[in-house]
Amino acid sequence: MFDWLRLLLLAATLFAGAMTGWAQTKTCIPEISRFTDDVYDPALGNVDTLDKAEFYIRGQLPKNSTKADAAEAIGRFLRQRFYHGFSEYRICENWISHYVGLINHQWISPISPDEIIRYRSAGCSQNTLVYQSLLSRFGIDYATVSFWHPEHRATAAKIDGTWYYFDADIEPHRDRLVRFDEVMRGHVLREMYRGKAGAPGFGHGDDLGLQFEEAAQLGKITFTDIDRYPAERGAFIHRLTGWLSVYGWLVGLAISLFAVVVGPPSRFAVLRRVQAAFRFTRPGNNRSAAKSFAA
């Protein structure tokens, strides 16, 4: 049995090593927009870290700018920084999450703002995560606005004691700041998203404005995760698979070598250890030890 386990571990190590080597030969090709209404600015492609993004946004703000100015500037930056559509791990970056993501799509898309900003495209939830991370850098409280009929993610920002609604992904029609309590009434959503392509199967002629209005009426909009990163567990898994995609074969190799050197465990050695532990914990032995200590 032990020999079979060693062979299986060795085979897994060789497979991981081969996949890692092959992945390093793959070229990471930048994403290409699949939509015609993108306002992506290629000049912002080099803004690929949150530090650079913060520096750029601060440079766009006038002197004595307000938190409202900062929130709006972040939204403008994100609309120009990302194509529409979810970014996905490529083989050259994280081959484990890439292939597992072909089965479970939640694995394939980065959810850490530090990673998302390196891509050209971002879906609604990815856009929201970067938006929130940048809001925190400007000292602005934030929260996650989730639609469940159909699914969508947006951002709420607290400015001068009032929560306002922001969506840099679908880019709704608006000419002023929209309070979150207005959003929950529904009719404001109808006007903000009127004519936007909705999700098939949710009726209303696939008009997103009418679909979101119905979501508000049905209570299918939630306000959660105030000043809290909502995807910590998923980000940890992505960091782990990213590390294993590069170094996992070394872990397997180390365990395999250890198993070869140590060999199968001796059942007699294990039995002797159990017997020794049992003798130590018997009441008689404990009393004897106590008497000796007292003496």
Note whether residue 106 is domain-resident: no
Percentage of the chain modeled with pLDDT above 90: 51
DSSP state at residue 123:
-
The tally of CA atoms less than 13 A away on the side-chain side of residue 99 is 11
Q: Residues 147-187: pLDDT tens digits?
A: 998 999 999 999 999 999 999 999 899 989 999 999 998 99
| 278, pLDDT greater than 90 | no
Is residue 264 very low, low, confident or very high in pLDDT (cuts 50, 70, 90)? low
pTM of the shown model: 0.78
What CA–CA distance (Å, rounded) separates 263 from 88?
42
* pLDDT of 8 above 90: no
Whether the predicted pLDDT of 134 surpasses 50: yes
Q: What amino acid is encoded at 237 in this protein? A: I
pLDDT (mean) for 7-24: 73
More confident residue, 275 or 291: 275
Q: Sorting pLDDT into bands at 50, 70 and 90, what band is 276? A: low
Q: Identify which has the larger pLDDT, 108 or 58.
A: 58
Boundaries of domain holding 193? 31-85+123-230
Please, are residues 50 and 133 in contact by the beta-carbon 8 Å criterion? yes
pLDDT at 34: 60
**Total domain count for the chain?**
1
Query: What pLDDT sits at residue 28?
Result: 74
How far apart are alpha carbons 278 and 67 in whole angstroms? Answer: 68
Residue 145 lies in a domain: yes
pLDDT at 282: 46
| pLDDT score, position 142 | 98
Structural domain contains residue 183: yes
Of residues 9 and 58, more confidence is placed in 58
pLDDT at 55 over 50: yes
- For the segment 191-240, what is each residue's pLDDT rounded down to a tens digit? 999 999 999 989 888 899 999 999 999 999 999 999 999 888 888 989 98
Q: For residue 117, what are its two tokens?
A: 């900003």
Q: What local confidence, expressed as pLDDT, does residue 21 receive?
A: 78
Q: Is residue 36 part of a domain?
A: yes
73 falls within a domain: yes
Say how far apart CA 142 and CA 226 lie, in whole Å. Answer: 6
Predicted confidence band of residue 288 (pLDDT cuts 50, 70, 90): very low
Domain membership flag for residue 262: no
Mean pLDDT computed over every residue of the chain: 84
Does residue 264 lie in a domain region?
A: no
Q: Output the CA angle 37-38-40, nearest 5 degrees.
A: 155
Query: What's the rounded mean pLDDT across residues 92-119?
Result: 89
d(CA 126, CA 84): 10
> Does residue 222 belong to any structural domain of this protein?
yes
